[in-house]
Amino acid sequence: MTLDGVSIRRLEQARRLLAIAQTGLHYATSDFDKERYDEIAGIAHAQLAEISSMDAQAVAQLFALESGYANPKLDVRCAVFDDTSRILLVRERADGLWSLPGGWADVGVSPAANAAKEVREESGYSVDIVRLLAVWDMNAHAHPPSLFHIWKLVFLGRIVTAGELVGAETIEAGFFDIDALPALSLGRVLPEQIRRLDELRRHDRTDFD
């Protein structure tokens, strides 16, 4: 989704309207208030559909499972380096591009355990989680615009054993030099973020927005 500055502002406004509607529906007690919040949600769905060139019903279905107090979605990823300082990347089945192993946080699993699980499923490697490297708000970085507001946690992982890919979301895994990265899935990770993660792990630092 490629947008100009005006469309990005409209996207941010529509996401905010939808968050207000979702939170309002969670707390509303009167039918009158619920009706008004439903109307706001419908307006936001129509705006998001127009901006993203999607059908309004498809957008409504995408957000149908979002309920309760509106919060950013949480993306958990893991940076794993080998003995030569190459970074582990996985090739996404969805777009054929490369990214750090990771995905949406799972309910009932801690962030660190989630990161280790994603590495195992998407690359075949088992890792120990060493520490947290970064907490990033994707709105503060040059990612392509997203319908969701997303926060990203990136952990540092240390290889324990190698194995086979067991997940369905990736088709390949490999280690790459920081200065010779393959084509990245920019909605998931940016080249400058990978360079920053390497810097953070070498200097024992953590980055946050």
For residue range 156-191, list pLDDT tens digits in order.
999 999 988 877 899 999 999 999 999 999 999 999
CA separation for the pair 32, 9 (Å, rounded): 30
Instruction: Report the pLDDT value the prediction gives residue 28, as an integer from 0 to 100.
Output: 82
Lowest mean pLDDT among 20-29, 59-68, 151-160, 189-198: 59-68
CA dist., res. 158 & res. 129, Å (int): 6
Task: State the DSSP H helix or E strand holding residue 200, giving kind and residue range, or none if neither.
Answer: helix 191-202
What DSSP character marks residue 142? T
Residue showing tokens 């040059």:
142
The residue whose two tokens read 């699993």 is 109
| 1 vs 174, more confident | 174
Mean pLDDT (whole number) for 41-68? 72
The full set of domain ranges for the chain reads 5-62, 73-208
- CA 127 remoteness from chain centre: 21
Better-predicted residue by pLDDT, 185 or 72: 185
CA–CA distance, 174 with 193 (Å, rounded to integer): 18
Range scoring the smallest mean pLDDT among 6-20, 28-42, 165-179: 6-20
Domain 73-208 has CATH 3.30.10.20: no
Residue 47 confidence (pLDDT): 80
pLDDT of residue 111: 96
